[in-house]
Chain A
């Protein structure tokens, strides 16, 4: 059973380091700045326009999340353990009365806290702007979008941690993270679309292949928070609405949770059994 005091001690240390990390600060400010710009540039007037403004701003924020959040989650996670292993800090930490599970959980929770701060700031400034414009007409839906974005961030962080446990060098871990980001954001979608057209794949197959990607899970779930159906996604969206109805959103939420738990569980299992890999050098 992990000692929660140790987990919290490491979490605090990770948070402190993240808030001193220049790249993290730059990313957070860029995300907040773009979120503010997207919400402030809409000029609503009239009730109908205000409703449209909310949907359009939230849709823009969803696209912003799809691009930015996986990148920061993957890179933060992948650089963490691999970086500490490369400097020797991880080997030194493990010579103290702390277990590997405590170390990994503490690090994960610390970075999860840092990502929460990033999203809270970005969505916070956008939310306040929408409220000042009188356009925040579905506060609960907005909060649900924030929750979904946070689940996506945690899923990407888990994937980054998994890469970090298997990569020998920080550069390799970061390279893997960037490839995963490219694949999930661009190549995966294009590949599915191309294959679907070339092979005339049934629509249900297209849908199931698409929702394996956590970014698609987030996108579909987020669209459901701002409109009742998935017409905007074409036949696949209509199929999903018809097939799953009101169960679709809970299923997508569960899917995102699985994307958090499975890679993190894999990282824990691998990290707990690594020995020589962690101990820097092969000195006998």
Chain B
């Protein structure tokens, strides 16, 4: 369905993508994982043919470099935050349906699918962030494309809207659509992805299953606890004795925790009469020994 060979993108002297090769089968749901600046958005823009690149890239049998417009006809794209024109919801769908050569009869059906029927006459500027994102999905689905490309689609949504949107994407994948999405949220990757491609500094660092991501990258939930300097050694000892993976960091410590046991290390420190100055939770971040996160 999608094949990239030695995909490279340079912005002047900066290499945003470096010799990236991959193959995506029809019906797969692929997560592009990486920190900000890793090259995720650049890779998606290359798929859409909206920017130049070196190497080979074919989407649905179409050479992206030779016929980028045809490629965009087989892809439905949902950006992180779609910017629409000053039109109503229905006018917006009508406009994009015509550009995509989609039957206009699909407008009502698509509105229903993303639950925007009652908002059809509203100006887009009046919609909430979640509704705008559903409208972007509706636009993407108008021509019933075989491939959906989503760039951090739930990054700006609240928890409920994230959940609703994720369910919609899941059902589309189950219906046979090929999904390529970028994310740096572990829960999103786990919920939506069949396979994860990890990008680091523009290179494809790893390909794995979503459940392997935590193990292979050392991704965990980490509790960062700030204690006074004289208590740091005791803190590390107390937590280590209870089997926690701990690391010193500046004035505090990192403690690896699971989803249901976030409060336990704090209780242990309270019992040991070690005063905690502050704490926060880091989800799915790549933390390695010796890395300074202060």
Contact = CB atoms under 8 A, between A and B. Distances in A.
A6 interface: yes
A99 B69 contact: yes
Given A13-B87, A95-B79, A283 B41 contact: yes
A13 B50 contact: no
Given A276-B11, A283-B36, A284-B42, A95 B86 contact: no
Contacts of B11: 276, 282
B279 interface: no
Interface in A19-44: 20
Nearest to A5: B98
A256 B228 CA distance: 77
Residue from the set B37, B41, B69, B91 with the largest chain A CB neighbour count within 10 Å: B69
A49 interface: no
A99 B48 CA distance: 12
Interface string B47-62: 0101110000000000
B262 interface: no
Given A16-B87, A276-B11, A283-B36, A97 B100 contact: yes
Given A88-B83, A92-B83, A283-B41, A98 B99 contact: yes
Interface stretch (B70-78, B156-164, B247-255, B281-289): B70-78
Nearest to B75: A95
Interface in A93-110: 94-99
Given A5-B98, A98-B99, A284-B16, A89 B83 contact: yes
Nearest to A278: B50
A17 B86 contact: yes
B202 interface: yes
Contacts of B95: 9, 13
B82 interface: yes
A34 to B, nearest CB: 28
- Chain A interface extent, by class: 20 to 34
Contacts of A6: 98-99
Interface residues of B, number: 35
B156 to A, nearest CB: 13
Contacts of A95: 48, 50, 72, 77, 79
Contacts of A97: 69-70, 72-73, 99-101
Contacts of A96: 72, 77, 96, 99-100
A265 B249 CA distance: 59
Nearest to A99: B69
Contact of A17 (B41, B82, B85): B85
Given A97-B73, A284-B41, A92 B79 contact: yes
A149 to B, nearest CB: 28
A88 B86 CA distance: 13
B22 interface: no
A185 B73 CA distance: 46
Contacts of B50: 91, 94-95, 275, 279
Residue from the set A5, A88, A91, A95 with the largest chain B CB neighbour count within 10 Å: A95
A279 B42 CA distance: 10
A6 B45 CA distance: 21
Contact of B83 (A10, A87, A282): A87
A276 B51 CA distance: 8
Nearest to B85: A89
A213 to B, nearest CB: 35
Given A89-B85, A284-B202, A275 B52 contact: yes
A50 B77 CA distance: 63
B90 interface: no
B225 interface: no
A5 to B, nearest CB: 7
Given A17-B85, A276-B51, A284-B38, 9 more contacts: A9-B99, A16-B91, A89-B83, A92-B79, A95-B72, A95-B77, A98-B99, A99-B69, A280-B83
12 contacts: A6-B99, A9-B98, A16-B87, A17-B86, A87-B83, A95-B77, A95-B79, A97-B70, A98-B72, A279-B51, A284-B37, A284-B41
